[in-house]
Amino acid sequence: MLKHSLVWWLLGERCPWSARVAVLAGRWAVCGRDLVCLLSVVVAVGCTPPAEFGDNSLEWYKQERAARLEPGQGFPEVHRQDVSDITRVWFGTPDAPQLPLLEGEDDPALELLDMGKLAWAAGPVVSRNEESSQGLYRRHCAHCHGVTGDGRGPTSAFLSPYPRDFRLGKFKFKSSPTGTPPTKDDLKTILVNGIPGTSMPSFRLLQDEELDVLVDYVIYLSQRGMVERFLIAAVRELDEDARLVSLPDAARLRDLPLDVQLGPLQRVAPVGGESAADRDSAADADSVGGSEADAKAGADEDDGSESDGGSGAKADVSYDRDKIADDLLFLAEEQMLPVLEKWLGILDFEAKEVDVPAWVLDSRDAAYESQVALGQKLYFGAANCVQCHGETGIGDGQTNNYDDWTNDWLKVEGINPTDAAAWAPYVNAGAHPPRPIMPRNLRLGVYRGGNRPIDIFRRIQYGIEGTPMPASLTLTEEQIWALVAYVQQLPYETLSRPETAKKLENERPVR
Amino acid sequence: MAAITERDVRSSVAATASAATVCSPVIHYLAWVTALTVFPLIWAGGLVTTTKAGMAVPDWPGTYGYNMFLYPWETWFFGPWDLFIEHGHRLLGSLAGIWCIGLVVLSWSLRTPSVVRWMSLAALALVILQGVMGGVRVLQVDREVARIHGCLGPAFFAFLAVLVVVTSRWWQAAAERGFWLSRTEDESGTRVGARAELLRLRAAMLRTLQNQRYVTLTLWALAYLQLVFGASMRHVPETADPYYFRILVWFHVVGAVCVGVAAVILSFTRGCPVPGLCWPRRLLLGAVVLQIVLGLGTWVMRYNFPDWFANELFAQAHLIVSNDFYQVQIVSAHVALGSFILAVGAFSAARIWRAEHGLRTVE
């Protein structure tokens, strides 16, 4: 009985016993340490684990399942290490972010992201002067979005919708079409306005500059996550004993001197982040075992630097510096450039100017009634909004859809999302339990992506990326405006459609 | 029915005279002042954590190279919020420290019961420990220390509440016969002087007091546990697993129910046999109710309404604004009221204990 309720605390969802135990066992390994810390109130110093970018274990598991490996048989451990090392070499650590710059100081990535801003957002929360603090991301966002930007911060499990996982590079509320990343202005608008009806706060009380810093960091995390996913997919294609980079046996990329690691990629040190960088090199020295010394000694393998544990092996590793550099360059071109280029696109992106027709704003306008009537026709007809948002617009149409962050792994094996035993292993690997996404209740008159007509216009025109809400590819702008007008008057519509009103009264949807 | 005899009165006077030395009212007032400083201090500490301003001043015990007390006050007072609240928290903390030093000096120089002397020393030790802990948290950038700092503060506050009781005239009076003589009047105001009757009355009073003490202490312990869970949630490392936080939330919710049940039971241990025991109990009950409401409010101000309200306008239109006035004050009020409950609980329990003690020892 007690066991049962403990598990129930853990999951809080309706699901069978066996699945809960599976999840419990899996999560216990992770939060056991935290719980021990909780109990040891006195000797708890040093319990806070260092912030690190977590591996995308969900993506690994997903690819294992996609490759139809036997249960319990995963990809070789060195493959995981390679991906983790390469993303680390390219993007740095949460305390010392880096960008993979193929063209050194002239790299276009530096037009998009500012190293100084990244350093400001990264790292632990500390202040160097009275005016502002470092570590903005961990101060304001990480408890929901996670240090890695994986949407798995400590508070995330209870929140609905779950905090955004930036690693898929998909964003909902933006002025750009599906498949195109949001502009910096879009992201900043979200930070200023927040998302009402969800736990995503408005950060309008932060300084303007701090918001810019956070926007850059979100893009950085998103890029890092996307590249990591590409690399994992690339590993899937490899033979078991092949490597992404030409390294002998179990040698690790991160154990090699920095200049070898980076290959042709130039490293541009973050400006203004001296202490973050210092701390990182200190951390490096611990975890990698004197990689700094190695970097200075170049590729001198017999420089006799002390060897401890894993790093001891590296002294005897013989490697071909040029070959590694070539491999990394090849990988960067294959796996990284597409991601970066996609994001670079937002530099030149200009949302298409649209004029808001006068009648949308003024219900006394002569054209208004007929446009609303047209909107209604489209809603029930050609645009088929009724399919999801329901006849009354309260969002009680199709309610068994899932968003892309869930479908991404749900679809791999065609898992039935209501079959908890089937998805439990994915939750163990780091997914949130699937929850169906509800079409918006349009009767409330509040919208998450903004209440202005132009906001609703964009939602209908481009859809809401990552959700079932489709882009209206076949509708003209005129028609979309008619839909906007129709949607906007829905909250007041009850009286004109008595049968709707009645239905509204009787059947509020239950989630 | 014979009234109380002269002999009775004389022996009670003799008992008073031979009792421990009376505590000087100055000490009692200073204890009050200290406690009244510590409450805003705790509130400010809550604000520091709520707005995550704890690292706004990177050094300690100085402030940006200045001696803490010499830091230019305009820069502090008109400076950014983070600096204002963190430096203000430190200044208030020092003030509490100064009061504690005053307590020690006074109690060891004036004729004072030794309990009070040792308690004021302990208070000083606690306040120093708490200050150092705050410093270590800043210098080590350690969340774990912050959590312990957050748990120790309210314990210190509760300790001060006990000190206030121990130094009070009430504490003294409760051990005196005169205090109890008037208690032996029944409702109609007639004296019930018969010995048997008196004994019966005393036994009944003792039983009530004992029950109240048990329940109050249980409530106190539960409330402290709640505080530990609360502090663990507020100082959860960003790297913690969502399921860890989830466990904490559930424990906190279950704990809230337990405290609520304890409060209901407490409100059933009716009867206020002694004046000065009723109002702390009522205050405690009111605070628990308010605290539960504030707890729900905290969740809503931080994470919005749960899914059950998905079709309610108030939930869907609710926008969380990070660090805006309502969020910060509601969350910090929840923290501060938690400490307040501990202090009132400790105050109440100390008085009940003393009343029991007095009733037992006074013939």
CATH classification at residue B223: 1.20.120
How far is A404 from chain B, CA to nearest CA, in Å?
20
How many structural domains does chain A have? 3
Q: Quick one: A185 and A315 in the same domain?
A: yes
Q: Quick one: B154 and B274 in the same domain?
A: no
Whether residue A412 is contained in a domain is answered as no
The residues, ordered by sequence, that sit 6+ positions from A365 with a Cβ below 8 Å of its Cβ are: A358, A359
Q: Which of B167, B192, B217 finishes a domain?
A: B167
Q: Quick one: B142 and B290 in the same domain?
A: no
Section A15-41 average pLDDT: 59
CA separation, residue A118 to residues A121, A147, B29, B57, B198 (Å): 5, 14, 53, 22, 78
Q: Quick one: B209 and B139 in the same domain?
A: no
Is the link from the previous residue into A470 a cis peptide, with omega within 30 of 0?
no
Cα A486 to Cα A176: distance, rounded to the nearest angstrom: 23
Q: Whole domain around residue A17: which residue ranges?
A: 2-45
**pLDDT for B263 beyond 70:** yes
Cα A507 to Cα A191: distance, rounded to the nearest angstrom: 35
**pLDDT for B302 beyond 90:** yes
DSSP label at residue A168: G
Nearest to B322 among A152, A198, A205 (CB): A205
Whether residue B77 is contained in a domain is answered as yes
For B336-348, write each residue's pLDDT tens digit.
Answer: 999 999 999 999 9
Q: Which of B167, B187, B222 finishes a domain?
A: B167
Round the average pLDDT of chain A to a whole number and report it: 79
For B229-238, write each residue's pLDDT tens digit.
Answer: 999 899 888 8
Q: What is the dihedral of CA A388, A389, A392, A397, to 10 degrees?
A: 30
Whether residue B179 is contained in a domain is answered as no
pLDDT of B283: 92
In the block, residue with structure tokens 């899932």: A402
Please report residues of B whose CB lies closer than 8 A to that of A30. Answer: 241, 243-244
CA separation, residue A160 to residues A377, B115, B304 (Å): 33, 54, 9
Question: Which of A416-425, A483-492, A495-504 is most confident?
Answer: A483-492
Q: Quick one: A298 and A396 in the same domain?
A: no
Whether residue B217 is contained in a domain is answered as yes
Q: Quick one: A31 and A120 in the same domain?
A: no
Q: Quick one: A307 and A335 in the same domain?
A: yes
Q: Quick one: B351 and B208 in the same domain?
A: yes
- The answer to whether the Cβ–Cβ distance between A154 and B232 falls below 8 Å is no
How far is A200 from chain B, CA to nearest CA, in Å?
7
The better pLDDT of the pair A120, B272 is held by A120
pLDDT of A443: 92
Q: Which of B167, B196, B228 finishes a domain?
A: B167
Whether the CB-CB separation of A289 and A311 falls below 8 Å is answered with yes
Please report residues of A whose CB lies closer than 8 A to that of B149. Answer: none
Tokens of B47: 């604000």
Interfacial A residues in 457-486 facing B (CB < 8 Å): none
What predicted TM-score, i.e. pTM, was given to this entire model? 0.85
**pLDDT for A449 beyond 90:** yes
pLDDT of A466: 95
How far is B118 from chain A, CA to nearest CA, in Å?
24
Section A101-117 average pLDDT: 87
Please report residues of A whose CB lies closer than 8 A to that of B75. Answer: 130
Cα A417 to Cα A415: distance, rounded to the nearest angstrom: 6
Whether the CB-CB separation of A486 and A476 falls below 8 Å is answered with no
How far is A142 from chain B, CA to nearest CA, in Å?
6
Q: Quick one: A396 and A251 in the same domain?
A: no
Please report residues of A whose CB lies closer than 8 A to that of B80. Answer: 130-132
ipTM of the complex: 0.84
pLDDT of A164: 96
- The answer to whether the Cβ–Cβ distance between A197 and B316 falls below 8 Å is yes
How many structural domains does chain B have? 2
DSSP bridge partners of A92: A97
Whether residue A407 is contained in a domain is answered as no
Q: Whole domain around residue B285: which residue ranges?
A: 204-363
Give the dihedral sign, CA A489/A491/A496/A499: positive
Give the dihedral sign, CA A147/A428/A37/B329: positive
pLDDT of A12: 45
- The answer to whether the Cβ–Cβ distance between A130 and B244 falls below 8 Å is no
- Nearest residue to A215 via CA among A339, A307, A112, A132: A112
**pLDDT for A500 beyond 60:** no
Whether residue B8 is contained in a domain is answered as no
pLDDT of A77: 86
Confidence of residue A141 (pLDDT cuts 50, 70, 90): very high
- The answer to whether the Cβ–Cβ distance between A199 and B320 falls below 8 Å is yes
Question: Which CATH number does the domain housing residue A495 bear?
Answer: 1.10.760.10
For A294-325, write each residue's pLDDT tens digit.
Answer: 333 333 333 333 333 334 344 455 677 777 87
Q: Quick one: B234 and B362 in the same domain?
A: yes
Please report residues of B whose CB lies closer than 8 A to that of A395. Answer: 311
For A193-212, write each residue's pLDDT tens digit.
Answer: 999 999 999 999 999 999 99
- For B241, which residue in chain A has the nearest alpha carbon? A154
Whether residue A409 is contained in a domain is answered as no
Please report residues of B whose CB lies closer than 8 A to that of A44. Answer: 144, 147-148
Q: Quick one: B294 and B363 in the same domain?
A: yes
Confidence of residue A242 (pLDDT cuts 50, 70, 90): confident
Nearest to A197 among B82, B142, B315 (CB): B315
Q: Quick one: A329 and A388 in the same domain?
A: no
Range with the lowest mean pLDDT among A389-393, B11-15, B208-212, B222-226? B11-15
Chain B contact probe: residue of A38, A148, A274, A506 with most B CBs at under 10 A = A38
**pLDDT for B216 beyond 50:** yes
- The answer to whether the Cβ–Cβ distance between B80 and A47 falls below 8 Å is no
Cα A137 to Cα A153: distance, rounded to the nearest angstrom: 12
Chain A contact probe: residue of B243, B254, B320 with most A CBs at under 10 A = B243
Q: Quick one: B161 and B284 in the same domain?
A: no
Tokens of A57: 């274990």
Q: How many CA atoms lie within 13 A of B65 on its CB side?
A: 3
Whether residue B175 is contained in a domain is answered as no
Q: Quick one: A203 and A343 in the same domain?
A: yes
**pLDDT for A483 beyond 90:** yes
pLDDT of B242: 87
Q: Quick one: A445 and A309 in the same domain?
A: no
Q: How many residues does chain B have?
A: 363
For A410-445, write each residue's pLDDT tens digit.
Answer: 998 888 988 888 888 898 888 999 999 999 999 999
Q: Quick one: A104 and A209 in the same domain?
A: yes
CB atoms within 10 A of CB A158: 17
Whether the CB-CB separation of B266 and B330 falls below 8 Å is answered with no
For A358-374, write each residue's pLDDT tens digit.
Answer: 888 888 888 888 999 99
Round the average pLDDT of chain B to a whole number and report it: 86
Whether residue A411 is contained in a domain is answered as no
- The answer to whether the Cβ–Cβ distance between B323 and A197 falls below 8 Å is no
Whether the CB-CB separation of B272 and B283 falls below 8 Å is answered with no
pLDDT of B56: 81
Q: Quick one: A88 and A212 in the same domain?
A: yes
Please report residues of A whose CB lies closer than 8 A to that of B74. Answer: none
The DSSP secondary structure of A323-392, one letter per residue, reads HHHHHHHHHIIIIIHHHHHHHHHHHH--PPP-PPPHHHH-TTSTTHHHHHHHHHHHHHTTT-THHHH-SS
Q: Quick one: A233 and A175 in the same domain?
A: yes
pLDDT of A285: 37
Q: Quick one: A309 and A449 in the same domain?
A: no
Whether residue A470 is contained in a domain is answered as yes
Q: Quick one: B127 and B246 in the same domain?
A: no
CB atoms within 10 A of CB A324: 18
Range with the lowest mean pLDDT among A99-103, A194-198, A292-296, B304-308? A292-296
pLDDT of A314: 46
Whether residue B187 is contained in a domain is answered as no
In the block, residue with structure tokens 């007032």: B29
Cα B292 to Cα A204: distance, rounded to the nearest angstrom: 29
Nearest to B58 among A51, A128, A394 (CB): A128
Whether the CB-CB separation of B288 and B259 falls below 8 Å is answered with yes
The better pLDDT of the pair B39, A45 is held by B39
Whether residue B146 is contained in a domain is answered as yes
Whether residue B326 is contained in a domain is answered as yes
DSSP-based three-state secondary structure for B69? helix
- The answer to whether the Cβ–Cβ distance between A205 and B317 falls below 8 Å is no
Contact of A37 with chain B, judged by CB distance below 8 Å, is answered with yes
The better pLDDT of the pair A16, A155 is held by A155
